[in-house]
């Protein structure tokens, strides 16, 4: 009897701690794989010790995933996280620091915030010398990483840098900053500090994805397919500001959809949650401001006090817009770090605004021309045709297959509810408005006056909209039944990511 009680207690504890345990096991296994690769490729040693570590950790990881699946077949969020942990860990470890687009500047901003400097000085930013020279100049492959990893970092040896991201809000870096803070306290090598910062963002991703999939009443598999996109994951496991921006958009959209279809009335806590998420999403980057207006759908929900909801929405939207304007004005006190590029390419925002006002039809033609020439490329880049500094090429077959999987995920889930036609039209208008604002923003800030094509647009900028677009495609009840889809789909998504990870490995080896 006592033995049975003890066994039940162990099972209960295991269920509660299964994800932290899986996280630690995945970290140990991935690091062992990394060390094995480095020793074999660059030292010429086949490490039996690391083979044993990999085997033990791999078997334990597989057992944990099987156990989790057996206990939670109907809980999609738990299955998704179980598959997401090892795949995300591979991205975290094998994608070297500063190799995400613009990540070096994000690393500098993250480190600055770890020292409590939430608002950057108008002068040069001061960071440890190793965060400039080691990370930027020396670590371009796994061998160089292995060499620099043994160095001791002097966090008091500082240099000045001209950071591109001084004006980015601090909350986009606060979790990564915790990683750097831990590294400083423990006097770790700066590269380990970078990895700790990335791991913190990865943990936030896992928590957000779990909550978002749990609360959203439909489209759980479609959301999952976007979360597993190589571009999304390789940003989410970095210190890039896009990591938290994308997470915020996922959380906001899932939260609003959950409120829209809930049977009970909205609580005060939920109203506060909506306000906070709206403000954070709007401030993260002004081009995503239209997404917060998805909240207008709440007015037409059956289970809300319409007058109270309209007041809440008015306050939220008003404060969000005012804060965005105030932040935009505040950012103007900083000199652009791209001054030379702007001058050489005749980029002038006031001049471009005059051009748009004077020739609106020409401007619409420029938008149309840009979409025609670049639209297909953006879709591929959003999924992950080019990772890192757009130099890591993922096989076209992987991307095409991924597009098919995303579309298929919209028709394989039995949804009890879904957007009505009117809600779909409204969500589509918000999506189109956001896309146009992204393009217009780069037309004003990064494109020469009067140019016929908008410069600087990348597919990754549309990931926040992708979450909304896939939900529009989700249907109610009418679905294609696929046996064991809760196992088949995650496996397919992981296999596609292994293809992308192989491209990363081949690039850095």
At 69, list the tokens.
């699946």
At 126, list the tokens.
């001061």
pLDDT given for residue 16 in this prediction: 79
pLDDT given for residue 10 in this prediction: 72
Distance between CA 385 and CA 2 in Å, rounded?
57
pLDDT tens, residue by residue, 351-410 = 999 999 999 999 999 999 999 999 999 999 999 999 998 899 999 999 999 999 999 998
Domain ranges of the chain: 2-75, 216-508
Which residue in 426, 390, 420, 402 sits closest to 503, CA to CA? 390
- 125, 94 contact by CB (below 8 A): no
**Range 414-418 average pLDDT:** 89
Mean pLDDT rounded to a whole number for the chain? 91
How sure is the predictor about 332, in pLDDT bands with cuts at 50, 70 and 90?
Answer: confident
pLDDT given for residue 2 in this prediction: 67
pTM: 0.94
**Range 184-207 average pLDDT:** 95
Strand, helix or coil for residue 161: strand
Tell whether the model's pLDDT for residue 261 goes beyond 90.
yes
How sure is the predictor about 333, in pLDDT bands with cuts at 50, 70 and 90?
Answer: confident
pLDDT tens, residue by residue, 265-310 = 889 999 999 999 999 999 999 999 999 999 999 998 877 888 999 9
Give the pairing type, strands 386-387 and 392-393: antiparallel
Distance between CA 252 and CA 255 in Å, rounded?
5
Report the chain's terminal Cα–Cα distance, integer Å. 55
pLDDT given for residue 490 in this prediction: 96
Distance between CA 471 and CA 258 in Å, rounded?
12
pLDDT given for residue 138 in this prediction: 61
Distance between CA 179 and CA 194 in Å, rounded?
7
Residue 199: phi and psi, rounded to 5, are -65, -35
Which residue in 493, 458, 457, 472 sits closest to 380, CA to CA? 458
Tell whether the model's pLDDT for residue 323 goes beyond 90.
yes
Per the model's pLDDT, the better-predicted residue between 106 and 145 turns out to be: 106
Q: Which whole-number Å values give the CA distances from 94 to 87, 198, 209, in the listed order?
A: 11, 12, 22
- With both helix axes pointing from N to C terminus, report the angle between 268-284 and 306-331 in degrees, rounded to the nearest 10: 30
pLDDT tens, residue by residue, 383-392 = 999 999 889 9
pLDDT given for residue 14 in this prediction: 72
pLDDT tens, residue by residue, 109-136 = 999 999 999 998 888 889 999 998 877 6
pLDDT given for residue 147 in this prediction: 81
pLDDT tens, residue by residue, 5-29 = 777 777 777 777 899 999 999 999 9
Distance between CA 476 and CA 473 in Å, rounded?
10
Distance between CA 58 and CA 271 in Å, rounded?
44
How sure is the predictor about 475, in pLDDT bands with cuts at 50, 70 and 90?
Answer: confident
Strand, helix or coil for residue 96: coil
- Residue showing tokens 């699946």: 69
How sure is the predictor about 263, in pLDDT bands with cuts at 50, 70 and 90?
Answer: confident
Strand, helix or coil for residue 222: helix
DSSP letter at 392?
E
pLDDT given for residue 509 in this prediction: 86
Using a 10 angstrom Cβ sphere, with 0-12 exposed, 13-18 middle and 19 or more buried, the burial of residue 185 is: exposed
pLDDT tens, residue by residue, 216-234 = 999 999 999 999 999 999 9
pLDDT given for residue 1 in this prediction: 61
Hey, which residues does 160 pair with through a beta bridge?
126
| 3-class secondary structure per residue, 399-422 | HHHHHHHHHHHCCCCCCCCCCCHH
Hey, which residues does 161 pair with through a beta bridge?
125
């Amino acid at each position: 009897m006592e033995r049975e009680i003890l066994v039940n207690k162990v099972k209960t504890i295991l269920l509660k701690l299964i994800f932290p345990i899986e996280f630690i096991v995945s970290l140990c296994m991935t690091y062992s794989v990394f060390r094995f690769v480095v020793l074999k490729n660059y030292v010429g040693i086949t490490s039996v010790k690391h083979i044993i570590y990999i085997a033990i950790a791999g078997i334990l990881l597989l057992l944990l995933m099987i156990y989790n699946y057996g206990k939670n077949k109907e809980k999609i969020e738990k299955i998704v996280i179980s598959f997401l942990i090892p795949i995300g860990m591979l991205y975290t470890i094998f994608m070297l620091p500063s190799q995400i687009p613009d990540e070096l500047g994000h690393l500098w901003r993250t480190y600055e915030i770890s020292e409590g400097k939430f608002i950057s000085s108008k002068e040069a930013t001061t960071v440890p010398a190793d965060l400039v020279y080691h990370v930027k100049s020396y670590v371009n492959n796994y061998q160089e990483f292995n060499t620099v990893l043994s160095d001791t970092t002097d966090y008091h040896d500082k240099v000045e840098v001209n950071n591109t991201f001084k004006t980015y809000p601090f909350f986009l870096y606060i979790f990564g900053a915790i990683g750097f803070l831990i590294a400083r306290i423990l006097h770790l090598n700066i590269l380990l500090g970078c990895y700790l910062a990335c791991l913190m963002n990865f943990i936030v991703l896992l928590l957000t994805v779990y909550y978002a999939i749990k609360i959203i009443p439909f489209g759980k598999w479609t959301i999952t397919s976007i979360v597993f996109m190589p571009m999304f994951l390789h940003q989410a496991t970095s210190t890039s500001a896009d990591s938290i921006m994308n997470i915020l958009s996922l959380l906001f959209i899932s939260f609003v959809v959950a409120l829209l279809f809930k049977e009970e009335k909205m609580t005060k806590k939920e109203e506060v949650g909506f306000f906070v998420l709206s403000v954070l999403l709007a401030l993260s980057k002004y081009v995503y401001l239209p997404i917060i207006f998805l909240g207008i759908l709440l007015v037409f929900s059956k289970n809300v006090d319409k007058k109270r909801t309209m007041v809440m929405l008015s306050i939220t939207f008003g404060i969000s817009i005012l804060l965005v304007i105030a932040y935009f004005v505040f950012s103007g006190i900083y000199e652009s770090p791209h001054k030379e590029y702007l001058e050489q390419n005749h980029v002038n925002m006031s001049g471009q605004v005059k051009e748009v006002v004077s020739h609106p039809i020409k401007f619409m033609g420029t938008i149309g021309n840009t979409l025609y020439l670049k639209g297909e490329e953006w879709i591929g880049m959003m999924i992950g045709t080019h990772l890192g500094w757009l130099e890591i090429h993922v096989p076209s077959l992987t991307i095409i297959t991924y597009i098919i999987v995303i579309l298929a995920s919209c028709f394989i889930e039995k949804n009890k509810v879904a957007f009505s036609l009117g809600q779909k039209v409204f969500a589509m208008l918000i999506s189109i408005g956001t896309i146009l604002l992204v393009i217009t923003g780069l037309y004003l800030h990064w494109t020469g006056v009067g140019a016929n094509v908008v410069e600087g647009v990348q597919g990754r900028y549309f990931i926040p909209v992708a979450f909304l677009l896939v939900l529009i495609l989700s249907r109610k009840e009418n679905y294609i039944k696929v046996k064991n889809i809760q196992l088949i789909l995650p496996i397919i998504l992981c296999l596609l990511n292994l293809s992308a990870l192989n491209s990363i490995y081949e690039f850095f080896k």
